[in-house]
Amino acid sequence: MKFTIYQESRPGKRPTNEDRIAYCYSRDALLMVVADGMGGHLHGEVAAQIAVQYITEAFQREAHPNLKDPFLFLSGGLANAHHAILDYAADRFLPEAPRTTCIACVVQDSIAYWAHAGDSRLYVIRGGRILSKTRDHSRVQRMIEDGLITSEDAVHHPARNRIFSCLGGVNAPQIDFSKKTPLMTGDVMALCTDGVWGPLSNEAIARTMGGGNIMQAVPALMNQAEAKGGANADNLSMIALRWEDNYAEDTLGSVSTKTMPIDSFTTQMEAFAKARKGAQPLPNLSDEEIERAIQEINSAIKKYSK
């Protein structure tokens, strides 16, 4: 693995910093986590701290040197962090469990996997353009999707901070998972809290972060956000990664060995595609194929369940 990584967190104009960020890597896998403790609730920073610490520790336990199933890791990590926060509240008889947003991302074999709850974001930027971005679990995001307001309205909307999914709340979090995203040389991944993206446009983020040197780009972007945030600037946190390996080269080199089992799976999918075209004699489905289909479905269920 070859990459550049940079992280920074500032309190903005708030008395405390309730954001927590961390990254961590082994020889073959990398983890990044950003959590934004929710100020309206008790001990927001505690929830954020538990989430980041819990997921990082799980990564250190499981990534030897890479994770068996990154999505399963993320799904378990976020769900367990949620329960750890609830346990913390129960142990101390808190009237209400503290809450936090969470975005966690794993990169291994030049493939990125991420999962999130709440409105902390992840951007994948390629060639100065946004290739992919998380969808906030916020009321305004829903209103935009429902066509009730435009994204310009959202910037000043009174409910812009209301989110419907988080770790530690009364309701089980809704966790969204990414697709497996192959990374190319020069791709930038940026994870940040709403203190950073709130005052800025997506285009501004893509432009600044796509520029190349993330060591300079992150502080520059945070300066912009903090200035625009004004007298009431929120906590700001960001982790940025610039990937220096290339997925295409990786797979070319290792297709015969490491990725062999994955490859045989792909062949399996092709059989379905052929069937779709309506070959006259029906293709038979062997017992092994049935078992494999069931296994595949069950692992998808595990990956996408809370």
Output the six-digit token pair for 268.
């399996």
Using CB under 8 A as the binding rule, whether residue 156 contacts another protein is answered as: no
Using rule CB under 8 A, residue 301 touches another protein: yes
**Nearer residue to another protein within complex by CB, 24 or 143:** 143
For residue 109, the minimal CB distance to another protein (Å) is 22
How far apart, in whole angstroms, are the C-alpha atoms of residue 112 and residue 189? 9
Q: Which amino acid is at 102?
A: C
Count of positions on this chain that bind another protein (CB under 8 A) = 27
Nearer to another protein, 27 or 276 (CB): 276
Q: Which of residues 173-202 bind another protein (CB under 8 A)?
A: 174, 176
The CB-of-138 to another protein minimum distance in angstroms stands at 14
| N residues, the chain | 306
- Alpha carbons 65 and 293: distance in angstroms, whole number: 29
CA pair distance 34, 65, nearest whole angstrom: 22
Binding mask 59-98 for another protein (x = CB under 8 A): ----------------------------------------
55 SS3 class: helix
**How many angstroms separate the Cα of 76 from the Cα of each of 57, 58, 85?**
12, 9, 14
- Verify binding: residue 294, another protein, rule CB under 8 A: yes
What six digits make up the tokens of 81? 């962090």
Can residue 278 be called a binding residue for another protein (CB under 8 A)? yes
- Of 151 and 304, which has the nearer Cβ to another protein? 304
Q: Which of 15, 40, 95, 147 binds another protein (CB under 8 A)?
A: 147
Instruction: Decide: is 290 part of the binding site for another protein (CB under 8 A).
Output: yes
DSSP letter, residue 37: B
Q: Which of 148, 159, 172, 255 binds another protein (CB under 8 A)?
A: 148
Q: Strand ranges (DSSP E) for the chain?
A: 3-10, 19-25, 29-36, 102-108, 111-117, 121-126, 129-133, 176-177, 181-182, 188-192, 236-243
Can you tell me which residue has the tokens 């609730």?
41
Per rule CB under 8 A, is residue 267 in the interface with another protein? no
Quick check: 280 binds another protein (CB under 8 A)? yes
Supply the angle between the helices 287-304 and 70-91 in degrees, to the nearest 10. 40
Residue of the chain from 146, 158, 170, 231 that contacts another protein (CB under 8 A): 146
Question: Could you give the angle at which helices 70-91 and 44-62 cross, rounded to 10 degrees?
Answer: 140
> Is residue 159 near another protein by the rule CB under 8 A?
no
> Under the criterion CB under 8 A, does residue 298 sit at the interface with another protein?
yes
- Site residues (vs another protein, CB under 8 A): 145-148, 174, 176, 272, 275-276, 278, 280, 282-285, 290-291, 293-294, 296-298, 300-301, 304-306
